[in-house]
Amino acid sequence: MQTTDLIQVDQQHLVFHLHNDKISYLFRVIPEIGQLENYYYGPRIQQPSLDGHLNERELRPGNNLLTGNYTTSLEAIRQEYPVFGTTDFRQGAYAIRYPDGDEITAFKYASYQVTAGYPDLGELPHARYGDETAATLTITLHDENSPLTLQLHYTINTTNALIIRSSTFSNSPQSETTYQLTKALSANLDLPNADYDLIHLHGAWAKEMQIQRQPLMVGRMSIDSDRGASSHQHNPFIALAATNADEQQGQVYGAALLYSGNFLAQVEVDNYAVTRLSLGISPTQFTWQLTPGTSFQTPEVVLSCTTTGLNGMSHEFHDFYRRHLIDQRWADQPKPILINNWEATYFDFNETKLLQLATKAQAVGLDLFVLDDGWFGRRDSDTGSLGNWTVDRHKLPAGLPHLVSAIHQLGLKFGLWFEPEMISTDTPLFQAHPEWRLGHPDKNISHGRNQYVLDFSNPQVVTAIFEQMAAILHSTKIDYIKWDMNRYISEAFSPYLAAQQQGELYHRYIMGVYHLYSLLAQSFPELMIESCAGGGGRFDAGMLYYAPQAWASDDTDAIERLKIQYGASLGYPLQAISSHVSAVPNHQVGRITPLQTRGDVAMFGTFGYELDITKLSEAELAQIKRQIAFVKQQQHLLLTGEFTRLASPFTSNQPAWQVYDRQSGRGLIAAYQILSPANPPYRRLRLQGLDPEQTYQLTRIDAHYQLGQPILVHGDELMNLGIIFSEDYSERTADYWNRPQPHDFASQLFALKAVADLQL
């Protein structure tokens, strides 16, 4: 499909039709009032009728914009980007305060423009790459009551069932007035019915990405974060699933914000069953001074529409992020399999201990050694030293380059932990610049984990931290950074910003974070960064623009991780979900799970280990070696194949998922058992998304990652009849008393491979 075909404009009726082979998005300008009305967002329609029958104008009581007209009530019109208070009493997408103190806006359609490619939003995360396969429609509206301009951007590409939206507010250079933008969400979608369930991911530290699904109600439902980060509590991703939709079928709208700061996702159902979905920067404590000649750009929202269940939605997000969001230096590339010393040593290590870990890591085939918290300042606990990014000579007397070169000599890459946004009061940085800490100097400033947040809205602070990090990165070859962020912002106040700009703090803060990421990317182009925030406290699509993977949770227990990774996969590709094999008893929940299961869960993500490998038995080391070899062999499939959820750990004792790559015909299936049932019922696992007529080799993978005897089976059988788990004991009835017993927390992998069409 040509990009010029992606956006059709009926110039006479001012109807705009964005479409590709999968979706159509349709809206128009209402001639009488110059406002934008949504007609449709759903599966592709070929040619919308333009004879007016798409107009919905019931006669209803309400306030009307035009005298003598009963059909200009915005309350009764499905709009593109509504405002509260001018005949619409629902929640608006934006709000502007005028010098008189009123908030009465009147933006009217002025013009449109179609451009090739994705808009470049500078350091604000945005869709990118493949401009030849995307087109953007920009609608410009002028405010009748001010010199303000509003631009709505809509991007569509040739392959994905989604559109990308954002908006830009601009104050004319000729203006003499500053206007206050008190709300600026990124997008709004008014749907003509309300038969949906709201699905979102909620949690807390060590239990992120829990899926909640509930029917919409008349009224408002919202999730948000006002913590300065996207948060463990709510993820900036929601879905509206038709009430009958499940993983495999049914209509689903997905909405994700490419942003890592405060957000609001809201769904409002009115009394006519219209569902209003809106998403963007949280309006809490947000006020942007729109001074003459300046603009405010909202983050982008990705809005998907699919009819193939939640998996269908996830496939679109996964594919889109891999191709158009994650930095192409890292996307789909082999990921180093790492060992991290955090759960092995916590703060208690020295060079000898680290080299012992690294030596064992090298022997089992690992690629990257990551030195976590505790290497800098004088940090034996979490009580100080953040902001003093100089090596602790008590722990590493020979210095960091010495350690790093020893690790490089082993043939491993080296990674280092930083928490750049934080400051402890015992540091030279704080002594020199107490005003660089966020908080009001005359009021209480709360600590979180004994630490304070640096004022990243102040460019000087970002530069100073960059210089400290750059000094370390120049001192030796560091291949990887784990960028952590372990507390939220409260009592938000910037000593740097003027009083009237305090409402800009949260957004300026996160832009400062993005700026530091940019500086590092420019100066150290080979450096890969993993994002982390006390586990998954900033696991969002905005971060993925800069850091190709994110530590999903500080909970490393395999059984807990089934839920966390299953939940995360709703909106994020496996290659973004960092997951490690850790020790047993597990440090968060005390559970003892088999090493095989820990590996079989963690490999469905970016794989690594986080345990004291020097304390393992020879048998365990041998098993880890086999595990690593197996993951290396399967890694391309795991990171780039289509991931499909088969059975949910939230509802099933036997969760399962698969990765399948249509092109190569290869797949990997994992079936887990949480608790082992006595005298179990039959178990069959139906696969998804295979070619029904294709012959496949299905191979059970044993506990030592050896392939068993393959069976040949057609795709339709695997999808309909499924993989049979029960054993055939018909010729072995005597085995009743000594048959192998199942156990709790078990896992089973199967490999799938398309083969030439053999006679079955």
Just list the catalytic residues.
Answer: 484, 554
Which residue lies nearer to ligand GLA by CB, 552 or 687? Answer: 552
37 with 152: CB under 8 angstroms?
Answer: no
Which residue lies nearer to ligand GLA by CB, 165 or 232? Answer: 232
Residue type, 534: G
Rounded to the nearest 10°, the torsion over CA 225, 227, 231, 237 is 20
Q: What are phi and psi of 205, to 5 degrees?
A: -55, 135
Which residue lies nearer to ligand GLA by CB, 36 or 206? Answer: 206
CA distances from 608 to 495, 539, 578, 665, 677 (A): 41, 18, 8, 26, 31
Segment near ligand GLA (CB under 6 A), from 121-129, 399-407, 528-536, 690-698?
528-536
**Which of 534, 567, 655, 665 touches ligand GLA by CB under 6 A?**
534
Q: Kindly state the smallest distance separating residue 533's Cβ from ligand GLA, in Å.
A: 7
| Euclidean distance between CA atoms 32 and 65, whole angstroms | 10
- Sheet of 656-661, strand order: 642-647, 656-661, 666-673, 746-755, 695-701, 711-714
Which residue lies nearer to ligand GLA by CB, 534 or 641? Answer: 534
Rounded to the nearest 10°, the torsion over CA 117, 119, 124, 126 is -30
**Which of 80, 103, 224, 373 touches ligand GLA by CB under 6 A?**
373
Count of residues in the chain: 760
| Euclidean distance between CA atoms 538 and 531, whole angstroms | 8
- Asked if 82 interacts with ligand GLA (CB under 6 A), we say no
- Asked if 555 interacts with ligand GLA (CB under 6 A), we say no
CA distances from 547 to 439, 474, 551 (A): 28, 20, 10
Q: Kindly state the smallest distance separating residue 373's Cβ from ligand GLA, in Å.
A: 3
307 with 191: CB under 8 angstroms?
Answer: no
Each residue 270-299 as x (binds ligand GLA by CB under 6 A) or -, in order, gives ------------------------------
| Euclidean distance between CA atoms 330 and 617, whole angstroms | 35
- Span 416-445, contacts to ligand GLA by CB under 6 A: 417
Residue nearest ligand GLA by beta-carbon distance: 373
| Three-class SS of 140-162 | EEEECCCCEEEEEEEEEECCCCE
- Asked if 600 interacts with ligand GLA (CB under 6 A), we say no
- Asked if 486 interacts with ligand GLA (CB under 6 A), we say yes
Total chain residues near ligand GLA (CB under 6 A): 11
Q: How does DSSP assign 275-333, residue by residue? A: EEEEEEE--TT--EEE-TT-EEEPPPEEEEEESBHHHHHHHHHHHHHHHHTS-TTTTTS
Residue 142 CA neighbour count, 13 Å, CB half: 6
Name 71's Cβ contacts closer than 8 Å, sequence gap at least 6.
57, 59, 64
- Asked if 605 interacts with ligand GLA (CB under 6 A), we say no
Which is nearest to 204 in space by CA: 730, 560, 482, 618?
Answer: 560
Segment near ligand GLA (CB under 6 A), from 527-535, 540-548, 616-624, 717-725?
527-535
Q: Kindly state the smallest distance separating residue 205's Cβ from ligand GLA, in Å.
A: 8
Q: Kindly state the smallest distance separating residue 485's Cβ from ligand GLA, in Å.
A: 9
Which residue lies nearer to ligand GLA by CB, 534 or 567? Answer: 534
626 with 599: CB under 8 angstroms?
Answer: no
Q: What are phi and psi of 583, to 5 degrees?
A: -75, 165
Residue 750 CB neighbours (<10 A): 22
What the block records as the tokens of 458 is: 């102040």
Three-state DSSP class for residue 380: coil
**Which of 27, 506, 514, 551 touches ligand GLA by CB under 6 A?**
551
Q: Kindly state the smallest distance separating residue 693's Cβ from ligand GLA, in Å.
A: 47
Segment near ligand GLA (CB under 6 A), from 314-322, 520-528, 529-537, 660-668?
529-537
| Euclidean distance between CA atoms 159 and 733, whole angstroms | 54
Q: Kindly state the smallest distance separating residue 482's Cβ from ligand GLA, in Å.
A: 6
- Asked if 384 interacts with ligand GLA (CB under 6 A), we say no
Which residue lies nearer to ligand GLA by CB, 452 or 705? Answer: 452
List the Cα angle 7/12/15 in 5-degree steps: 40
**Which of 554, 557, 560, 600 touches ligand GLA by CB under 6 A?**
554
Helix axes 459-475, 400-409, angle to 10 degrees: 50
Which residue lies nearer to ligand GLA by CB, 342 or 436? Answer: 342
Which residue lies nearer to ligand GLA by CB, 94 or 342? Answer: 342
Q: Kindly state the smallest distance separating residue 554's Cβ from ligand GLA, in Å.
A: 5
**Which of 535, 605, 608, 641 touches ligand GLA by CB under 6 A?**
535
Q: Kindly state the smallest distance separating residue 372's Cβ from ligand GLA, in Å.
A: 5
Which residue lies nearer to ligand GLA by CB, 367 or 484? Answer: 484
Q: What are phi and psi of 376, to 5 degrees?
A: -125, 165
Three-state DSSP class for residue 755: strand
In eight-state DSSP terms, residue 625 is H
264 with 224: CB under 8 angstroms?
Answer: yes
**Which of 224, 226, 484, 560 touches ligand GLA by CB under 6 A?**
484
Which is nearest to 337 in space by CA: 613, 672, 564?
Answer: 613
- Span 337-366, contacts to ligand GLA by CB under 6 A: 342
Q: Strand pairing of 695-701 and 606-610?
A: unpaired
Segment near ligand GLA (CB under 6 A), from 404-412, 421-429, 502-510, 532-540?
532-540
Q: Kindly state the smallest distance separating residue 512's Cβ from ligand GLA, in Å.
A: 21
- Asked if 608 interacts with ligand GLA (CB under 6 A), we say no
Which residue lies nearer to ligand GLA by CB, 224 or 372? Answer: 372
**Which of 372, 479, 504, 555 touches ligand GLA by CB under 6 A?**
372
**Which of 83, 187, 194, 532 touches ligand GLA by CB under 6 A?**
532
Q: Kindly state the smallest distance separating residue 580's Cβ from ligand GLA, in Å.
A: 9
- Asked if 529 interacts with ligand GLA (CB under 6 A), we say no
Three-state DSSP class for residue 428: helix
Q: Kindly state the smallest distance separating residue 528's Cβ from ligand GLA, in Å.
A: 16
- Asked if 208 interacts with ligand GLA (CB under 6 A), we say no
Which residue lies nearer to ligand GLA by CB, 125 or 534? Answer: 534
Residues that bind ligand GLA (CB under 6 A): 342, 372-373, 417, 484, 486, 532, 534-535, 551, 554
